[in-house]
Structure 1
Amino acid sequence: MRGFVIVWLGQVVSMLGTGMTNFALSFWIFQQTGEATALTWAIFFFMAPSVLFSPIAGAIVDRSNRKTIMIVSDLLAGIATIFLLSLLATDSLQIWHIYVANLLAGAANAFQFPAYSAAVTMMLPKEQYGRAAGMLSLAGSASGILAPAFAGALLGPLGLVGIMGIDVATFLFAIFALFIVHIPQPEVTAEGRTGQGSLLQESAYGFRYIFEKPSLLGLQMVFFFINFLAMFGFAVMVPMILARTGNDEIALASVQSLGAIGGVVGGLLLSTWGGPKRKVNGVLLGMIATSIFGQALMGVGQGVFIWATAAFMGQFIIPILNGSNQAIWQAKVAPDVQGRVFAVRRLIAQITAPVATALAGPLADNVFEPAMQPDGALAPLFGWLVGTGAGAGMSVMFVITGLIGVAVGLGGYLFPAIRNAEELLVDHEVVVQTAVLKKRLNELTAERQVLRQAPSTVQNQQALRAIALEMRQIGADFPQQSRGDFK
C-alpha cells in the first residue's frame, strides 16, 4: 500500500496544477470568444485522441514496463503545458494553439489510463480495489476544490503565466514520485499468451476479449450511452454559468469547488467503505442518481445555490459509480492483459463523449440558446422550468439529458448479462487457481492410470489411496465459481 500512496500523492499534486491551468484557460477562452463552441472544441481536442488512441496505447502498455509508460505519459502532458506557457510568455497564444496542446495531452492520457489502472491491480490485493478507486477519485476531487479557488485567487496577481508555471512544477513532482516507487510487472497468463501477436493484433485483442463476454460488453454499452448524455450537458456547464451570471468567475469557481467537495466526500466514503457488495448496483443506481441530482438539477437551477448543490450531488455519486465499475473489471480481467482490455473498454465507453462535446457547443449557440430567448420556439415549453434569456438554452440541454440518463440506468437492469455480471464472470484469480488445480488433477489421473495397470502391491495400494485423498482435497479446494467446469 505504501508504494500506491506515494504514487497517489504525486497525482494529487499534479492534478491540482492541471486543474488550475484548465480553470484559467477556460476563463481566458470564454473571455476571448464569448461562445460555448470554443470551449467545447477545446474539450473535444483533448478527449478525441485520449479515446481513439486507446487500443494501440493499451497494447503498448501490456508490452512495456508500466512504470516507464506512466512516466513518459506524464512527461508528454507536461510538454503540452510548457508549449502553451512559452507562447503565452511571448504574447503569441491563440485558441488554436490550445487545441494543438490538448491533442498532445489527450494522446498522453490514452496511455495514462490503462497504465495506471493496470499498475493498481499489481500494487494492491483485490480487497483494496474499491478503496484505491475511491482514493484516486478523491485525488481528482481534492484538486477540483482547491484548483478553482487557487486559480481564481492567483489569476489576478500571477496571471495565466504564473498559474501555468505552477502546473509545470506539479507534474515534475508527480514524475519524481513514480521514479522512487517499485511497480511489479504481471506474470504471463493463458489469456495473455492467447492475445500475443503483432501490435495490430494485440490492439484488436481487447475488442475480442470484451465482445466474447456479454456482461463486460453490456456494462460498457451502458456507459456508451450515459457518457454521451453526460458530456452533452456538462460540456456547456462553464458557458452556461458564465452566461447566466454575467461572466462572474467567482460564481463559476464556487460551483466547481462545491462540486469537487462532493467528489471528495464521495471518494472518502468509497475509500473507507469499499463500495456496495454488489458492484453492479453501484454502477446502475449511480447512473440513475447522478442523472437526477446532478444533471437534471443543474439544468433546473437558475442561481449559484442550486448549481452548487447539483454539482455536489453529481460529483458525490460519481466516485461510487466509477469505483464500482473499476472494481468489477480489475477483479475479472487477468492483470497481464488489462492494458489492452482496459484501453478498449475506455474506447467503447467514451467514444460518444467527444462526439457529444463537438455537437454540444454548436447546438447550444445555434439551436437551444436562440430557442430559449423570451420569444423563442422552446420558451413556452421550458421557460417556466429554467427561465429564458442567456444560458437558458444550455439549461434545457441539462434537463433533457438528465431525464434520458435515468432511462439508461433503469434499462441496464432489464438485461440479465448486465445485472448479473458479477455472478456470470469468473474472477481472474479463480481462473489461475482453476488452471493450477486442473493441471494437478490431470497429473494425478495419469499417475493413477499407471498404478492401476501395474501389479498390485502394498506400496501401489498406498499410492492409490494417497492419490484418491489428494483428488478429494482438490474437489474441496476447487473455486466455487468454477465448479460447473469441474470434471
Structure 2
Amino acid sequence: MRDFLLIGGGQIVSLIGSALTGFAMGVWVYEQTGSVTRFSLIYISALLPAILISPLAGALTDRWNRGRVIILSDIGAALSTVVIAILLLNNRLEIWHICLLNALNSVFRAFQGPAFSAAITLLVPERHLGRANGMTQTGRAIARLLSPVLAGVLLGTIGLYGIIVIDFATFVMALIPLIFVRIPDVTPDPGRKTGKKSLFHEAMYGWRYITEQSGLFGLLIFFTIANFFAGLAGVLFTPLILSFTSASVLGIILSTGSIGMLAGGLTMSIWGGPKRHIYGIFSSALGIGLCILSAGLHTYAPLFAVAAFFYYFGIPIINSCNHVIFQKKIPPDVQGRAFAMIGAIVGSSLPLAYLVAGPLVDHVFEPLMAPDGLLAGSMGQLIGTGPGRGIGLMFIIMGGFIILATLAAYSFSSLRGIEGDSEK
C-alpha cells in the first residue's frame, strides 16, 4: 500500500487544488458576465471532451506505462493552468479562453482517470482494493467539502491569480511521487489476441470485453441508469431546497451532505467493503433511492439534511465497490480501455440528465403540481402544491425508479453472482 499512498496522496492534493480553481473560476465567470448560460458553458466544456475522447484515451493508456500517462496528464493540466494565470495577469482572460483550456484539461483527465484506476490494480494487493478505492473517494469528498469554503476565503484575500498559483503548486506535489515510484508495466495475456489492427479496434475491444461478460455488462447498465437519476437529483437539489427555504440553509444542507460523503469514504478506507462487493452496491443504491424519494415528500429542512447526509454517505461506498469488481474481473492489460469505456458511458448519462431536467420541471411537473394543476387534488394532498412541489414529485419518481432498478438488478443471477459462486 505504500506506493499507492504516495501516488494517491499526491493526486488527492492535486484534486483539491483543481477543485479550488474550478469553483473560483465559476464565480469569476458569473461575476464578470452575470450569464447563467456562460456559467454553464464552463462546466460543459470541462465534461464533454473527456466523454468523447475516453475510448481512444483508454486504448493508448493500455499501450503505454500507466505512470507515464499520469505524469504527462498532470503536466498537461499544469501547463494549461499556467496559461490561464498568464492571461489573467495580463488582463486578457476571456470566456472562450477558459472554455478552450477547460476542454484541454478534460482531454488530459480522459487519460489520467483510466490510467490511475488501472494503476491501483498494479500497486495494491487484491484484498486491499476496497480500502484503496475508499481512500480515493475520501480524497474527492475532502475536495468537495473544502473547495467552496477555501475558495470563497481565498478569493477575498489572494484573488483568482493566487488560487491558480496554489493549484499549480499542487500539480508539482502530485508529480514528485510519480517520479520516484514506478508503476509496473503490464504484460498482455498471450492467450487473448486483441491485436493491434488500429487504435479504433483496440478502443472497441474494451467495449466488447465488457459486453461479452453478462455480469459486467449488467453492472454497467445498472450503474448508468442509477447515475442518470442521481444526476437529475443532483441538478435539481438546489432549486428544490430554495423553493421553501433560504440560501444559508441550502449551504448548511450541502455541507452536511459533504460531511456524509467524507464519512462514507473514510468508512470504505477502513472497512474495505463487504466480502461480496455487489451487496455493497445494492444496499447503497437502495439507500440512495430512499433518500431521494424521502426528499420529495416534505419541505422540512432538518429532514433534508439527514437525507443529504445518508445520500452522500452511500456514494463513496457504491463507487468504491463498483471499481473493485471491475478491477478484479477485468485483466490488467485491458483495464485502461475498459475503464475509459465505462467512464464514457456512465459519464454520458450526466449531460443527458442536465439536458432534460429543466424542460421536465418547467413544462411538465411544476404545472402538474400548481395549485390548479392536474395532480393538485391527488398528489397535492400528500406533498402539497405550489413552487417546488413539481420537483418534489420528480424526486419521488426518481427515488422509486432507483429502488425498482436495484431490485430488478438483484433478480439477475449473473449480476448477483458476479464475484463467483453465482446464486440461482
Pairwise CA distance, 1:253:
4.3
* RMSD over aligned Cα atoms: 3.0
Pairwise CA distance, 1:400:
2.8
Which residue in the other structure is 1:442 paired with? none
Pairwise CA distance, 1:338:
0.9
Provide the rounded CA distance (Å) in 1 between the counterparts of 2:372 and 2:90: 46
Residue identity matched to 1:52: L
Pairwise CA distance, 1:81:
3.9
Pairwise CA distance, 1:80:
4.3
Q: SS of 1:185's equivalent?
A: coil
Pairwise CA distance, 1:130:
0.7
Which residue in the other structure is 1:430 paired with? none
Superposed counterparts of 1:54-453, under 5 Å: 54-89=54-89, 95=95, 97-190=97-190, 193-238=193-238, 240-241=240-241, 248=247, 250-293=248-291, 295-300=292-297, 302=299, 305-364=302-361, 368=365, 381-382=379-380, 385=383, 388-389=386-387, 393-423=390-420
Provide the rounded CA distance (Å) in 1 between the counterparts of 2:139 and 2:221: 27
Provide the rounded CA distance (Å) in 2 between the counterparts of 1:3 and 1:239: 43
Pairwise CA distance, 1:165:
3.2
Residue identity matched to 1:359: V
Provide the rounded CA distance (Å) in 2 between the counterparts of 1:106 and 1:62: 19
- Would you say the 8 A contact 2:263–2:313 is kept in 1? yes
- Would you say the 8 A contact 2:67–2:178 is kept in 1? yes
Pairwise CA distance, 1:275:
0.6
Residue identity matched to 2:259: I
Q: SS of 1:398's equivalent?
A: helix
- Tell me whether 93-102 or 369-378 shows the greater mean CA deviation: 369-378
Residue identity matched to 1:125: P
Larger Rg: 1
- Would you say the 8 A contact 1:135–1:271 is kept in 2? yes
Residue identity matched to 2:198: S
Which residue in the other structure is 1:429 paired with? none
CA distance change for structure 1 residues 112 and 242 in 2, over 3 Å: closer, same or farther?
farther
Number of corresponding residues: 420
CA distance change for structure 1 residues 305 and 286 in 2, over 3 Å: closer, same or farther?
same
Pairwise CA distance, 1:361:
4.1
Pairwise CA distance, 1:118:
0.9
Which residue in the other structure is 1:470 paired with? none
Q: SS of 2:155's equivalent?
A: helix
- Would you say the 8 A contact 1:149–1:257 is kept in 2? no
- Would you say the 8 A contact 2:370–2:385 is kept in 1? no
CA distance change for structure 1 residues 96 and 136 in 2, over 3 Å: closer, same or farther?
same
TM-score (norm 2): 0.87
CA distance change for structure 1 residues 147 and 299 in 2, over 3 Å: closer, same or farther?
farther
1:46-78 CA deviation, whole Å, 9 max, x = no partner? 332222222111110010121111122223333
- Tell me whether 121-130 or 362-371 shows the greater mean CA deviation: 362-371
Q: SS of 2:420's equivalent?
A: helix
- Tell me whether 405-414 or 16-25 shows the greater mean CA deviation: 16-25
Which residue in the other structure is 1:14 paired with? 14
Q: SS of 2:187's equivalent?
A: coil
Structure 1 unaligned blocks of 5 or more: 426-487
Which residue in the other structure is 1:46 paired with? 46
Provide the rounded CA distance (Å) in 2 between the counterparts of 1:39 and 1:311: 25
Provide the rounded CA distance (Å) in 1 between the counterparts of 2:79 and 2:360: 33
Percent identical residues? 39
Provide the rounded CA distance (Å) in 2 between the counterparts of 1:33 and 1:395: 28
Pairwise CA distance, 1:226:
1.0
- Tell me whether 100-109 or 320-329 shows the greater mean CA deviation: 100-109
Pairwise CA distance, 1:18:
2.1
TM-score (norm 1): 0.77
Residue identity matched to 1:126: E
- Would you say the 8 A contact 1:55–1:203 is kept in 2? yes
